[in-house]
Structure 1
Amino acid sequence: MKNKKLKIFAILVPLFMIGIIVYLFFSFWEKKEKGKKLENIPSFRLETVDGNLFTSKNLMEESMKVIIYFSPDCHFCQAEAEELSKTYFNYKNIQWIWIASEPISTIKEFAQKYKLNKQNNIFWCHDEMARFYRQSEIKSVPYFLVYDTNNHLLKRNSGAIKVEKLLKNTDEKN
């Protein structure tokens, strides 16, 4: 009886270990593929809070881009907006694209609250039916994508991060 249990255990443990290794391999592969998907700015179509169409073709050339997927109700997102409103003068040459799936009026109020609604290089966009969110496989807010002047991904960050830290070592602060 003991011998039989030992044989079963000797078979199950290696099978279990092989299963874990296969799972980890596919998880790593999936994460790598997701990263490749975002290496260049994805094609997108969004509506600005002013009712204009904003697409990947509207991105400024020769300018670094920061795409921020956020929710106006998110406390971390509010802190990010507060920080940017205080340090904006340091980052005027960066194109900021704030994207949310909440109603346009809510996004507009958020931009006004932090006095970021009048800057020429900050765009407030509505992601109808969370298409950009799903396309980019974003899992949480705030979510940051930082692209260089050639639209190649420099950094991405899920969760709260200081703007200064996000843009550190990008050589394109101003």
Structure 2
Amino acid sequence: MKIFLSIIILFIGLQAKAQQPTLLPQFTFYKLDGKAFSNKDIKQGKKNLLILFDCTCEHCQRETALLNKNYASFKNVNIYMITLDEAYIIPQFFNSYAKGLNTKPNVTVLQDRNHTFIPTFLPTKYPAMFLYSATGKLQLYNSGDGGIKKLLTVVNK
């Protein structure tokens, strides 16, 4: 029993020290049409915002609505909205909380079908937002509420 408890404490300690990747990691997610989308498909020359969201998460709903309201500040940022949700519920989410955001030219909605986002990017809460520079360096990480407000200060510089 002591060994089991020690292993659990060690695991929790390692998780607490885990940090988000400072360089944009390799990944493969899927567009809603089923086509694969990887880090190699990211449009070059702009900042890249990756947002992990859940359609039923109230924080995600509020932050996505705020992103939509402040879209003008993000029009020069590639926005990748990633979810583990099933494809049928995703359009309902956008229609309810951020109508039209998912059809903007710089917004790509992706599904994490293989559940690789969390072990790759190590977010702590929904929504998790990762802003990477055009060269792929992490500029801002936020999890939970308040991410869009923080991002506005960085993207408006």
> TM-score per shorter chain, which class?
0.7 to 0.9
**C-alpha deviations, 1:56-108, integer Å up to 9, x for none?**
01111110111111101000100011111111022100011111101011123
CA–CA separation in structure 2 for the residues paired with 1:61 and 1:167: 21
Q: 1:105 aligns with which of 70, 88, 109?
A: 88
Residue 154 (str. 1) matches residue 139 (str. 2)? yes
**C-alpha deviations, 1:147-169, integer Å up to 9, x for none?**
1110100111111115232242x
Matched position secondary structure for 1:109: helix
CA–CA separation in structure 2 for the residues paired with 1:105 and 1:121: 22
Residue 65 (str. 1) matches residue 48 (str. 2)? yes
TM-score by length of 1: 0.74
- The answer to whether the 8 A contact 1:93-1:173 is kept is no
Unaligned runs of at least 5 residues, structure 1: 1-22
Matched position secondary structure for 1:117: helix
CA–CA separation in structure 2 for the residues paired with 1:163 and 1:150: 21
Indicate the residue corresponding to 2:61 in structure 1. Answer: 78
Write the letter of the residue equivalent to 1:135.
T
Indicate the residue corresponding to 2:35 in structure 1. Answer: 52
Matched position secondary structure for 2:101: coil
CA–CA separation in structure 1 for the residues paired with 2:15 and 2:116: 24
Shift of 1:138: 2.3
Shift of 1:133: 1.6
Indicate the residue corresponding to 2:6 in structure 1. Answer: none
**C-alpha deviations, 1:130-156, integer Å up to 9, x for none?**
211222222321111111110100111
Which of 80-89 and 159-168 deviates more? Answer: 159-168
Q: Which has the higher helix share?
A: 1
Shift of 1:28: 7.9
Unaligned runs of at least 5 residues, structure 2: 1-8
Structure with bigger gyration radius: 1
Shift of 1:123: 0.9
Indicate the residue corresponding to 1:88 in structure 2. Answer: 71
Write the letter of the residue equivalent to 2:82.
I
Taking a change above 3 Å as real, the CA distance of residues 74 and 102 of structure 1, as seen in their structure-2 partners, is: same
Residue 145 (str. 1) matches residue 130 (str. 2)? yes
Indicate the structure whose relative CO is greater, using CA pairs within 8 Å and at least 6 residues apart: 2
Identity of aligned pairs, percent? 24
TM-score by length of 2: 0.82
Shift of 1:41: 0.7
